[in-house]
Structure 1
Amino acid sequence: MRSYGFNIESGSQQGLLFEDIERKGYSLLKSLITSDAAADFCNLLESVYEKQCEEFGLKELELINELNIVRCPLGYKNDFLKLALNETILNIVESVIGKEFQLHLQNAVINRANSQHHQSAWHRDLPYQNWVCSKVLSINAFFCLTPFNIETGGTQFIESSHLSENIPSKEFMDKHAKTLIAEPGDVIIFNSMLLHRAGQNVSNMDRFGINHVYTVPIISQQIDLPRFLTKENIEDAVSRKILGYKYESSVSVNDYRLKRMNKK
């Protein structure tokens, strides 16, 4: 590409991914898991969702607008824990955020056939935080388990909206919303402050996706994972850090000082 007054350097594919995230707010990572693995995750999600419906009650979930949301499936099936600790994703998050980060949440969205999900409202994944920051505080890794397109209600984005604290007008968003086309096994990486929403599923198939939000440790987890996962024997230091064990608040003065002592 020709230019004048400045130099344009050719970048790598990885560099382009980071530039997409920085400027547009999102990028697509192709075929991180196989389509067969994606299908297996769909079946596992249905199983966990059924379990959560039994635990809380279907009517109660409907009352609080939680239908077809599977919260923290990693606490139910170890396969989801492995997904949250995917090495490729963690390397990307570290490159964007830095070495100190934790898993803020892992939630799955089931967009049923011929229906509109309640997450079809425009939102940021740090909700009600309408400001911008010079550093990235939070990154999403959204695993597409079924086809994401206009018919299935694929995720829509307002490109570069993470760069402005002001929420655009409805007319602007209607005009500039972009539906990202993705296949089973693809992962959408995006800045959590990017405005997005689920589309309306007008197809005859359910759409499944698993969302991971990784944040700097100053942002508390949606669910206290170290307490939620007490039954899990997680000894790996990296895994414990990602799951938030390293960043637990001290319960006493001595506990605080012992943690400092252990760093020596």
Structure 2
Amino acid sequence: MKNKFNYSEISAEKAMDILNQFGWLTYENALEPEFVNQINDSLDDAYEKRRVIQKKNGISQNMEGTLHHLIEPDNFALKFLERMYCDQEMQAFFGGNYIVNAFGGVMNSKNNRPYVQNIHRDVRSFMGDEKFMVQMMVLLDDFTLENGATYMLSGSHLIAAKPNDNYFYEKADRAIAKKGSIVLFDSNLWHAAGKNNTDGNRRVLTISFTKPQFKQQFDYPRSLGYEFGESLNDDLRQILGYKSRIPATLDEYYQPLNKRMYQPDQG
């Protein structure tokens, strides 16, 4: 199976052929090492902030090592999105505009058993041939067999039913790749993080993108602030969902075309 390439090595059309057949592909050398290190340097504080809230609200079990909704005004997330990684591939996948649905991460260590180690897919309703959601894993450490490289059941994005454990682990491929790689996959694909048997951490960003009419897991425009959004470039406003907001008052609803919260090119 040939689904590993250097970043920008293949066309968006070729990427779509691979995604349609296997459900996933890997781009190596996508992120510069300095940028990966910058992301890693910020994850410990981000994790502690979220872990406090998980424990306070009584949902800490099986949430170890998980970081949800990392987009903040002054961290690495906006810099990442601004670089428009895999933009042409996702434009082809969706047939047009898209937005970020969720932007999180996982720190997989020997002592953690996060829920992402369960066999799962990242969309709850099987979408068949419809292209509504795509996932991006950004590898912040090398992914190896020893440290829990993700199991990917190639072709399973075409299957509605969850495979049994024996079949899954016998047939699944492993997303073995270097730090700085990007794994792009159809959200229908059945997969599972592996168990980390090393003493090191195995970190990854986990980002989902959808068509604009899909509800985001987190209201990023409201969290960042509508006024803050005015300072962003047009690409970031699109990806963050500023062009597909939902009005909450009649005054917000009754606006000229150029000021509408949900813009006409969003599907």
Q: TM-score range by the shorter chain?
A: 0.7 to 0.9
- What SS class does the counterpart of residue 93 from structure 2 fall into? helix
Gaps of 5+ in 1: 1-11
Question: Which of 249, 253, 267 does residue 252 from structure 1 map onto?
Answer: 249
- What SS class does the counterpart of residue 92 from structure 1 fall into? helix
Q: Which moved more, 1:110-119 or 1:214-223?
A: 110-119
Q: Is residue 116 of structure 1 aligned with residue 113 of structure 2?
A: yes
Over 3 Å counting, the alpha-carbon distance change for 1:261 and 1:89 in structure 2 is: closer
- Give how far 1:40 is off: 2.4
Structure 2 CA distance for aligned equivalents of residues 117 and 37 of structure 1: 26
Q: Deviations over 1:120-153 (max 9, x none)?
A: 0011111x31x23323111111100001121110
TM alignment of 1:5-20, pairs within 5 A: 13-14=10-11, 15-20=13-18
Which residue in the other structure is 2:211 paired with?
Answer: 216
Q: Which moved more, 1:32-41 or 1:134-143?
A: 32-41
- Give how far 1:180 is off: 1.1
Q: Is residue 158 of structure 1 aligned with residue 156 of structure 2?
A: no
Q: Deviations over 1:71-93 (max 9, x none)?
A: 12221643111213322322321
Which residue in the other structure is 1:3 paired with?
Answer: none
Indicate conservation of the 8 Å contact 1:72/1:105, yes or no.
Answer: yes
Structure 2 CA distance for aligned equivalents of residues 60 and 245 of structure 1: 30
Question: Which of 226, 236, 240 does residue 239 from structure 1 map onto?
Answer: 236
- What SS class does the counterpart of residue 166 from structure 2 fall into? helix
Gaps of 5+ in 2: 1-8
Which residue in the other structure is 1:33 paired with?
Answer: 31
Which residue in the other structure is 2:190 paired with?
Answer: 195
User: Letter of the aligned partner of 1:172 in structure 2?
Assistant: Y
Q: Deviations over 1:149-202 (max 9, x none)?
A: 211101111111111212222222121111111111000000111111100000
Q: Which moved more, 1:102-111 or 1:223-232?
A: 223-232
Structure 2 CA distance for aligned equivalents of residues 241 and 33 of structure 1: 22
User: Letter of the aligned partner of 1:68 in structure 2?
Assistant: G
Q: Is residue 207 of structure 1 aligned with residue 207 of structure 2?
A: no
Q: Which has the larger radius of gyration?
A: 1
Q: Deviations over 1:5-58 (max 9, x none)?
A: xxxxxxx8224322211110000011111233222211211121123334x164
Which residue in the other structure is 2:63 paired with?
Answer: 66
Question: Which of 69, 93, 97 does residue 96 from structure 1 map onto?
Answer: 93
Report percent identity of matched pairs: 21
Which residue in the other structure is 2:40 paired with?
Answer: 42
Q: Is residue 23 of structure 1 aligned with residue 21 of structure 2?
A: yes
Structure 2 CA distance for aligned equivalents of residues 20 and 134 of structure 1: 14
Structure 2 CA distance for aligned equivalents of residues 104 and 172 of structure 1: 30
Indicate conservation of the 8 Å contact 1:53/1:61, yes or no.
Answer: no
Indicate conservation of the 8 Å contact 1:107/1:212, yes or no.
Answer: yes
- What SS class does the counterpart of residue 213 from structure 1 fall into? strand
Structure 1 CA distance for aligned equivalents of residues 29 and 103 of structure 2: 20
- Give how far 1:219 is off: 1.6
Q: Deviations over 1:85-129 (max 9, x none)?
A: 322322321121122211001001000135433210011111x31
Looking at secondary structure, tell me which structure has more helix per residue. 1
Which residue in the other structure is 2:80 paired with?
Answer: 83
Indicate conservation of the 8 Å contact 2:156/2:189, yes or no.
Answer: yes
Indicate conservation of the 8 Å contact 2:73/2:224, yes or no.
Answer: no
Structure 1 CA distance for aligned equivalents of residues 148 and 64 of structure 2: 17
Which residue in the other structure is 1:51 paired with?
Answer: 49
Which residue in the other structure is 2:221 paired with?
Answer: 226
